[in-house]
Homo-oligomer: A and B are copies of this chain.
């Protein structure tokens, strides 16, 4: 078994991904508040979690879809930064002892270990609120309708019928509880709704037709499934190769046992056939 069939692509795509990730990193650095005042610790924590690493897949989707619709890159970068703030909040709260109790995130100590639990909790909250501040500010789009539509879609994607709902199922479901249909719905809520927002945002900013918005949503949901299957396959491959260079082996081990994955439900061969390899 090699990494070949399930790698995300060769050099040109990786280079594009890196270029966009750098642009998003710069945007986040400029847009996030600077530590100042008695609340400086909170802002340091927000920046610790949001800056410095991350694949920025969600931001990449925002930027790519926005280019299709010729949306200005400055506006698209604000939306991309907003999605990364939202994604970071979800990781920070997911890593807390009450949920996954993870020690390492993006190759460095999880926020609640680098700071403390109270700060991680509040920094996650603040990143979630800040994601909506970014979207709703006039700098994101001149048209208030577009801004409110972006907020509405991201709020739905992250609320009880989106990310938060998916996390709830993930926390409560035992590995044997879920059949393939229920597991796909979990992935749809936990990953698909945010991917759908990322792909749809460019169409919203360009005031494209509902036809285009729905087509992008459907594409995004399929891609989110493929992405999750690839992630599972990579985790298994890494564990099989005993690749100690991976900073977060806990996530990798979950690919083999303890947690429901696409692999457990459909087997590696079917997952690979269905993934975007």
Q: A144 with B148: in contact, given A99-B121, A121-B99, A130-B160 (CB under 8 Å)? A: yes
Say yes or no: B42 contacts A168, CB within 8 Å.
yes
- Nearest CB of B to A73, in Å: 21
- Nearest CB of B to A144, in Å: 3
Say yes or no: A164 contacts B38, CB within 8 Å.
no
Chain A, range 31-50, C-beta contacts under 8 Å to B: 33, 37-39, 41-43, 46
Contact bitstring A186-215, B, C-beta under 8 A = 1, else 0 = 100100000000000000000000000000
Say yes or no: A182 contacts B38, CB within 8 Å.
yes
Inside 8 A of A9's CB, which chain B residues have their CB? none
| A96 vs B103: C-alpha distance when bound (angstroms) | 20
**A128 contacts B by Cβ under 8 Å:** yes
Select which of B39, B96, B116, B132 is within 8 A of A160 by beta carbon: B39
Inside 8 A of A132's CB, which chain B residues have their CB? 132, 151, 154-155
Say yes or no: B164 contacts A136, CB within 8 Å.
no
- Nearest CB of B to A244, in Å: 30
Q: A121 with B136: in contact, given A145-B145, A161-B33 (CB under 8 Å)? A: no
- Nearest CB of B to A272, in Å: 27
**A23 contacts B by Cβ under 8 Å:** no
Select which of B42, B117, B143, B158 is within 8 A of A144 by beta carbon: B143
Give the A interface residue count (CB, 8 A): 62
| A123 vs B99: C-alpha distance when bound (angstroms) | 13
Q: A41 with B146: in contact, given A129-B159, A137-B152 (CB under 8 Å)? A: no
Say yes or no: B122 contacts A164, CB within 8 Å.
yes
Closest to A119 in B: B168
Inside 8 A of A93's CB, which chain B residues have their CB? 121-122, 125
- What residues make up the interface of A, taking CB atoms closer than 8 Å to B? 33, 37-39, 41-43, 46, 89, 93, 96, 98-99, 116-119, 121-126, 128-130, 132-133, 135-137, 143-149, 151-152, 154-156, 158-169, 171-173, 182, 185-186, 189
Interface CB pairs A-B, < 8 A, 18: A37-B185, A38-B169, A38-B185, A39-B165, A41-B168, A42-B165, A93-B122, A98-B121, A126-B160, A129-B164, A132-B132, A132-B154, A136-B136, A136-B151, A137-B152, A144-B146, A144-B148, A147-B148
